[in-house]
Amino acid sequence: MIFFHVSLLFALLFFSSCRKEEATFNKFLLLNTSGVIVKIIPTTSMADTLSLTNNQSKVYEFPFERGLSTGDNYAFFADFKPVTVIFNNTDTIIHYFDTLTHTGRYYKPSSGRSFYNKASYEKDIVNDTKYLRTVTLKYIIIAQDYLDAKK
């Protein structure tokens, strides 16, 4: 009986001294409202291509990160390399991380439509508690993006 009480006391002390770990979950929502099929090629490999039909959305959920943070600021595929977006299988625009002048249709990071501009995204923080936070970052591909690629 004494062993039971000592074990119970030890268990209570052990679990009461545990501290919950803070965590942030990141989600990325990509929505195509451009009016045409869109392909996003984040690298030079076509194997990494993301395709969206008109009005299609895709949600990507990522493993939690330790601690509470404000979450991601850019699309997961925007890894400081050019990201090619192809509209209707013919018209292309490239999102560049650098501020150099390039040929063809492209967005610099200062553009309000660039994958490399924080202002291009909608950010929503939900489930914001003392120990858990979920951050959803949303990018909407719009008709103006298609028009910019066609010019």
pLDDT (tens digit per residue) in 28-58 = 999 999 999 999 999 866 778 999 999 999 9
Question: Whole-model pTM?
Answer: 0.83
Residue 89, by phi and psi: left (phi above 0), alpha (psi -120 to 50) or beta? left
pLDDT band at 60 (very low <50, low <70, confident <90, very high): very high
Question: What is the helix (H) or strand (E) element at residue 146, kind and residue range?
Answer: helix 143-150
pLDDT band at 17 (very low <50, low <70, confident <90, very high): low
DSSP 144: H
Cα 12 to its chain centre, rounded Å, is 41
Residue 132: pLDDT over 60: yes
pLDDT of residue 122: 97
